[in-house]
A = this chain, B = another copy of it.
Amino acid sequence: TKRRFPWKMIIQLLKIVLVTGQLVWFGYDRSSHVNFLIKSTVSFKHLFLQGWDPAYETLPYPAPLGIFAIYTIDDFYLKLNHAWKMYNEVWPNSIGSFTPNAKNHTFPPMYLCKTFFRDGWVNPRNGSYSLHNQPVEECIALTKSDCEFWNNTTNSTEYSYDIKEYLQKINKTIDFDSLVKMEFKFSVRSVHLKNFDLGRNEAECFDFNITILLDNSAYSGQMPVTLDADANPFICYEEDEIDDTEDDISLAFIVYDIIVIIFSVTSTILCSRSLYRAQRLRSDTVMFFKKQRGIEMTLDDRMQFLNLWFIMIIINDIITVIGSIFKIVLALIAGSFIYIPSTVDLYEMCGLTLGTGSLLVWFGVLRYLNFFEKYNILIITMKRSFPDVLRYLICALIIYAGFTFCGWVVLGPYHVKFRTISAASECLFSLVNGDDMFVTFSVITGNDNVYIWYYSRAFLYIFISLFIYIILSLFIAVITNVYDIVKHYYQHGGFPETDLS
């Protein structure tokens, strides 16, 4: 068929450039935003957790250390006292501009909450216990004055951070046998200055609701200590603002986003038109066949009229438009034009949509490579091998599901890589592709249960051999086969003709 001036192609190619440009800029902006949140949490861990070590900040797997936990009651109070002290002294001791979330110039208290079984007790000596109801939570507020005292020798106000002593003073005790968890809750404010290396002095303001959790719910003598910082943005304003180059820059970005939206909408309209025309042609043809030849067209033949490329491009455009709108909203927030409380999730949603949009935009290019014969062979092979591969994947997935469940149940408690169902699946998937095999074997040592040791060896050898030697090889066989067929048709004048021709 003759082709008119390829408007659609030009638009698609321009879209790639535009969308990628938009993406890259957004990526840098978001990276700065998320980095601040992550780094701040690291700072809190260094400030508030006594004994925190930079080795805990590396990859979760392979971890260089066991979990951060406490085992003795002395250590328990040490951790609590340190957090209490650091909260009261975070300003001005910390390098970050963290201040307690003080309203009305009063220093806000921190809350010490214990979750425990009321009237519960445990007597391991004879194995008796009593746990009537569900655990309840009880909080006390620790104000700054609670730790203040007058030092007579130095004649000055001093602070003594001793939770144990304080609890005794207010007639509270902690019974570790019935304790489920202990939480320290407080809130800290911070300002994130950003983009000043780009000539823009922007800022984001956050309330961090920090929770230090000492978790005794496993009752195993090991009490993991974690710190969680939940960031809530609040609006901050620049005083004495003079120039407005910043606003100009923000505006430029908004205009850019609008251009992307215009392109996407145009592209959607063009593709919809094509789809619509094809559908009209289809109904005409169906009618023709029915009337003239008295035969009903098959579903497969009808599907020939539905161009999946156009559908993909339309989905892509919709996602891109949504992402761009999110981005404009974020720009408006950053420029203080509008105010929306939780921008954190907006960033996530914008990232997800723009990222997925970009992925599909690149896929769309394949459509245009399709017009060159040599490329066509490859794309056709991919397309035609898809159903076979998918069918085959289903067979493989059933066997895989069996191994995943079995591995999770049998090896899970002894093997860090099978601890959850999703981890077990990821581990087996990695093994199929040749990753981390020796480590997977070595995690279960002879010191563990000997049955488990034998089972794990049999399990892993059989699983890996089965998948790599049979199932992966069969993939290659399937695709080689399809390629041969496609190649053969090309050399002998195209694919066998359908009823339509």
Contacts and interface: CB of A to CB of B under 8 A. Distances in A.
Contacts of A410: 351-352, 355-356
A113 interface: no
Interface stretch (A284-292, A301-309, A385-393): A385-393
A124 B189 contact: yes
Given A131-B196, A442-B59, A442-B60, A222 B402 contact: no
Interface string A463-475: 0110011111111
A416 interface: yes
A258 interface: no
Given A124-B189, A413-B30, A436 B433 contact: no
Contact of A477 (B134, B201, B406, B480): B480
Interface residues on A, range: 35 or more
A94 B221 contact: yes
B72 A99 contact: no
A54 B71 contact: no
B399 A191 contact: no
Contacts of A457: 422, 426
A478 interface: yes
B26 A409 contact: yes
A201 B205 CA distance: 44
A102 B125 contact: yes
A439 interface: yes
Interface string A366-400: 10010000110011011001101101111100110
A399 B190 contact: no
A498 B388 CA distance: 29
A249 to B, nearest CB: 14
Interface string A420-444: 0111001101100111111101110
A209 interface: no
Contacts of A40: 220-222
B439 A61 contact: yes
Interface string A52-93: 001111111111111111111110100000000000000011
19 contacts: A31-B412, A34-B414, A39-B222, A43-B221, A59-B443, A72-B94, A97-B122, A124-B205, A129-B193, A351-B410, A360-B402, A361-B402, A362-B398, A362-B399, A363-B399, A369-B394, A386-B470, A417-B438, A423-B442
Given A97-B122, A362-B402, A389-B469, 18 more contacts: A43-B222, A58-B65, A60-B443, A62-B439, A64-B64, A117-B196, A124-B191, A124-B205, A127-B237, A131-B196, A197-B217, A355-B405, A362-B398, A366-B399, A381-B477, A389-B470, A477-B483, A478-B483
